């Protein structure tokens, strides 16, 4: 198949998740994949870098992906709005030249409706891949316009692919959707994360002693992350236990707020910020952990999402504590070593208590078997490919 994948993020800069994994898996399976992106880096956009370029995969280096994008000025304040217009001639050129069999669309506010309209003109079926409640991901003055785009996109796209059942339910309820919708779980590279060795040199570099117990969070610092609440709770925990550290892997909009909070509470020696870590190094950092947490505040935006970090924690063999999010519970409830709580503070307290009570706990083989059945790259690719083929078949029968 000739597949056009569309998303409004920078492919080379974005933290690796399924927007990289699925296109690269499709490419390694022999399909011709083009990725239409938005360059979020002003410097790269100013130089018009990579407007059209073929790259090796970031997750699977043997994959070859063609990157293209719309015109940008390299001025962040206007580029996103400008791209809603400049994408139109760029997409027209792509469709006219590319003769695609199907579009896999992740985009919502910047490119989403334009992709639907242009694909319809060229008679190309579109599968929209729904990952989150786009209008709630960031606190923004554009929240209501994005909500309107979400509703229209979900209602009109030919086939909708959700990353979990709660997301599918959300899309259908929000838009009154009557057309076909499917759940296709994201891929998880178990071999990449499976039980890396403890890295004593890395522990020393980060100031973690052999006696220290480590509670780890990995991911973006969104406003609904629950991290401020966790840090405040950690202050109480660390006052009673001087051999506990909080390791924060990632970054984002809350970073300065969290840094200020840590300084204000005098926790600079106990809370470690690593920044974003290359995908290849994530297992080494995760293996420093005694227990990992996913303390997202229970809300619509978190409940319908499917935080990939939880799967990666489990693949690394860690005990995990997460808030009780509908999307996660529906997919992986019952996995041994996965504990649910009802608030960020409770997640932190539970994580600390588990360090002592499960000091000698070892993840049973059944966990890896369950993860492989649901999320192995081969099963995830087969599931998504079936959905793409369904879109092509339904389009040809019209």
DSSP notation for 344-395: HHHHHHHHHHHHHHTTT----HHHHHHHHHHH-HHHHHHHHHHHHHHHHHHH
- Please choose, from the candidates 375, 381, 319, 30, the residue with its C-alpha nearest in 3D space to the C-alpha of residue 189: 375
Task: Please report the domains of the chain, with CATH numbers, ordered by start residue.
Answer: 2-187+376-396 (3.40.50.2000), 190-374 (3.40.50.2000)
Paired residues of 66 in beta bridges: 34, 54
For residues 387 and 129, what is the distance between their CA atoms, to the nearest angstrom?
11
Structure confidence at residue 275 (pLDDT): 95
What pLDDT, on the 0 to 100 scale, is given for residue 300?
A: 87
In the chain, which residues have pLDDT < 50? none
The Cβ of residue 287 has, within 10 Å, a number of other Cβ atoms equal to 20
pLDDT at 48: 56
Query: According to the model, what pLDDT value does residue 29 have?
Result: 98
* DSSP codes joined into one string, 141-163: TTHHHHHHHHHHHHHHSSEEEES
CB 40 within 8 A of CB 13: yes
Q: How far is CA 229 from CA 71, 138, 236, in A?
A: 41, 18, 11
- How much is the pLDDT for 56? 96
pLDDT at 383: 97
pLDDT number for residue 44 = 60
The residues, ordered by sequence, that sit 6+ positions from 23 with a Cβ below 8 Å of its Cβ are 3, 5, 33, 35, 63, 65, 104
The residues, any chain, with a CB within 8 Å of residue 373's CB and separated by 6 or more, are 379
Identify the pLDDT of residue 197: 77
Residue 225 to residue 344: CA distance in whole angstroms: 9
């Amino acid at each position: 198949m000739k597949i056009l994948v569309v998303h409004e993020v920078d492919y080379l800069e974005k933290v690796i998740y399924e927007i990289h994994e699925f296109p690269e898996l499709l490419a390694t399976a022999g399909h011709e994949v083009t990725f239409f992106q938005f360059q979020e880096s002003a410097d790269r956009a100013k130089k018009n870098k990579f407007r059209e370029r073929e790259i090796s995969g970031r997750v699977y280096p043997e994959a070859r992906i063609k990157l293209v994008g719309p015109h940008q000025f390299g001025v962040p304040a206007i580029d996103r709005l400008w791209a809603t217009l400049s994408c139109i001639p760029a997409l027209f050129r792509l469709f006219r030249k590319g003769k695609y069999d199907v579009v896999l669309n992740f985009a919502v506010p910047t490119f989403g409706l334009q992709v639907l309209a242009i694909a319809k003109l060229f008679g190309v079926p579109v599968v929209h891949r729904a990952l989150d409640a786009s209008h709630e991901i960031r606190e923004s003055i554009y929240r209501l316009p994005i909500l309107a785009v979400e509703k229209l996109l979900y209602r009109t796209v030919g086939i909708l692919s959700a990353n979990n059942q709660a997301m599918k339910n959300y899309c259908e309820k929000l838009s009154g959707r009557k057309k076909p919708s499917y759940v296709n779980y994201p891929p998880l590279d178990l071999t990449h994360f499976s039980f890396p060795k403890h890295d004593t040199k890395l522990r020393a570099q980060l100031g973690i002693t052999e006696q220290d117990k480590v509670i780890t969070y990995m991911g973006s610092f969104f406003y609904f992350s629950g991290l401020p609440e966790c840090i405040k709770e950690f202050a109480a925990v660390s006052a009673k236990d001087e051999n506990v550290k909080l390791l924060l892997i990632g970054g984002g909009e809350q970073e300065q707020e969290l840094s200020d909070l840590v300084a204000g509470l005098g926790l600079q020696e106990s809370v470690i910020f690593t920044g974003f870590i290359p995908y290849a190094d994530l297992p080494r950092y995760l293996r420093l952990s005694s227990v990992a947490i996913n303390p997202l505040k229970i809300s619509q935006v978190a409940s319908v999402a499917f935080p990939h970090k939880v799967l990666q924690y489990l693949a690394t063999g860690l005990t995990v504590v997460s808030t009780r999010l509908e999307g996660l519970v529906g997919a992986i409830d019952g996995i041994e070593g996965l504990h649910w709580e009802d608030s960020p503070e409770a997640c932190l307290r539970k994580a600390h208590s588990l360090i002592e009570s499960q000091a000698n706990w070892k993840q049973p083989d059944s966990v890896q078997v369950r993860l492989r059945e649901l999320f192995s790259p081969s099963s995830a690719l087969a599931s998504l490919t079936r959905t793409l083929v369904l879109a092509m078949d339904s389009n040809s029968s019209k």
